[in-house]
Amino acid sequence: MFFILSKTINFLAMPLVLIFLCWIVARFIRNKKWKRRLLVTGVVVLYVLTNDFITNEVARLWEPPAIAYNQLTKTYKLGILLTGVTKGNKEPADRVYFQRGADRIVHALQLYKKGIIEKILISGGSGMLTERSRPEADEIAEALTLMGVPPEDLIIENKTRNTYESAVAVTSLLQTTYRPSECILITAAYHMPRSIACYKKAGWPCDTFACDFLAHERKYTPDALFIPHAESVVIWTTLMREWAGMVAYKLSGYI
């Protein structure tokens, strides 16, 4: 039930959905004062959501900073790599299809190749409401094997559907053989606050390594300050869905 509810909340948290709701209500409401307010609100919110500078500042405030490899002062027995970057229902199904966020896989590979992590645990089944062909952890394991990681250095957890389930399952899997201090969590920067909160709640307060940053370096150019950008709406959608997820997890006692 929570799984379905969380997906519904994510849909309602999409900024374009909220804007269109304002305009749809304005179309049918009879009160002229509120009609005008809703129309103006929709336009103003749309401009804010397409402003690159404002969007970037919000993303910079939310995401943890990037960590250089040479800033990692210790090695880890295990890197915990969260999924959420493949398209499991795309045909033909004879290959792995990546979407935005795949740099977490490359960065996990770099951590492994540099000797910073000894093994990689891939956690995640399917976060889709409908069934997918293969668990995502299996697909990522296939990709990492093609990239040169031996199968014996990969641990697969492919049953969980969300971050909370992942934290509980991974903690249960590792608690007899590893310590939290021997592990580092690898996932998208925008998702890291919720991810590490789940893992701490589950009793596994490990270190973190953020990837796939939405934010970029500050730009004070006219196009960044004034010109609308479609990509900014995508970033706001990602952030608002993540914030909605944080609220849902908090209310459910998951964090």
171 and 141 in a single domain? The answer is: yes
At residue 2, the pLDDT reads 54
113 and 83 in a single domain? The answer is: yes
Cα within 13 Å of Cα(146), Cβ side: 10
Are residues 144 and 120 in contact, defined by beta-carbon separation less than 8 angstroms? yes
Residue 243 domain-assigned? yes
115 and 51 in a single domain? The answer is: no
Q: Which domain holds residue 231?
A: 2-63+223-252
Rounded to two decimals, what is the model's pTM?
0.89
Phi, psi dihedral angles at 77 (to 5 degrees): -75, -25
Omega within 30 of 0 (cis) for the link into 92: yes
User: For residue 90, how many other CB atoms are within 10 A of its CB?
Assistant: 13
CATH number at residue 79: 3.40.50.620
Query: Which percentage of the chain shows pLDDT scores above 70?
Result: 92
Cα dihedral sign, 13-14-20-23:
positive
Task: Say if strands 76-82 and 117-123 run parallel, antiparallel, or are unpaired.
Answer: parallel
103 and 205 in a single domain? The answer is: yes
Residue 151 domain-assigned? yes
Q: What is the pLDDT of residues 213-232, one digit of tens each?
A: 999 999 999 999 999 999 99
Distance CA 34, CA 51 (A): 26
89 and 157 in a single domain? The answer is: yes
130 and 11 in a single domain? The answer is: no
144 and 199 in a single domain? The answer is: yes
Are residues 54 and 48 in contact, defined by beta-carbon separation less than 8 angstroms? yes
At residue 211, the pLDDT reads 96
Q: What is the pLDDT of residues 60-119, one digit of tens each?
A: 999 999 999 999 999 999 999 999 999 878 888 888 899 888 899 999 999 999 999 999
Residue 216 domain-assigned? no
95 and 202 in a single domain? The answer is: yes
Q: What is the pLDDT of residues 111-130, one digit of tens each?
A: 999 999 999 999 998 756 55
Are residues 16 and 237 in contact, defined by beta-carbon separation less than 8 angstroms? yes
Rounded average pLDDT over 181-210: 98
Per the structure, how many domains does the chain have? 2
Q: How many angstroms from the chain centroid is the CA of residue 138?
A: 19
Q: Is 187 exposed, middle or buried (0-12, 13-18, 19+ CB in 10 A)?
A: buried
Amino acid identity, residue 158? N
37 and 127 in a single domain? The answer is: no
